[in-house]
Amino acid sequence: LPAYSTASGKVHLAFLPEKLLDRLYPDEALEEYTPRTHRSKQALRDDLHRVAKRGYAVDDEELEEQVRCVAVPVRDYTRTVIGALSVSGPSFRMDRQRIEEEIAPQLLGFAAELSTALGDLPASIA
């Protein structure tokens, strides 16, 4: 699956160096899978900045219509993103409010526990 159209993929892309993102996607135009797919590398970059800032990614019907996905990064002892935890479901059950207030916070908590078990330190300590 194209990383730029999935929540798990965007979690990984959001924490890569810009130069690597340019190597992965050398063309400005991106393949469209649904009307909500990012069509340009700049739109993708803007989304990835939001992902890095808020700590989670959302696939808002970007790969498949009527399906949303939320993903959070899992880090190891070097603070490197080594994986992602994600939840997918029908978009009518995963509205933006539920994602922000319920799903993302729970996933972030689970990912923090898993990351800590892998040696990651909380950002306030690291």
Q: What percent of the chain is modeled with pLDDT above 90?
A: 90
Going through 34-99 in order, the beta strands assigned E by DSSP cover 57-60, 67-75, 81-90
Outline where the chain has alpha helix (H): 7-14, 18-24, 41-54, 96-98, 104-117
Q: How far apart are CA 82 and CA 12, in angstroms?
A: 8
Q: Evaluate whether 48 touches 14 at the Cβ level (below 8 Å).
A: yes
Residue 124 pLDDT:
53
Neighbouring residues of 15: CB distance < 8 A, sequence distance ≥ 6? 52, 73, 81
Q: How far apart are CA 31 and CA 39, in angstroms?
A: 7
Residue 122 pLDDT:
67
Query: 47-96, pLDDT tens digit by residue?
Result: 999 999 999 999 999 999 999 999 999 999 999 999 999 999 999 999 99
Residue 125 pLDDT:
54
Residue 123 pLDDT:
62
Evaluate if residue 121 carries a pLDDT over 90: no
What average pLDDT does the structure give for the chain?
A: 94
First to last CA, the chain: 33
Query: 6-46, pLDDT tens digit by residue?
Result: 999 999 999 999 899 999 999 889 999 999 999 999 999 99
Indicate the pTM of the whole model.
Answer: 0.91
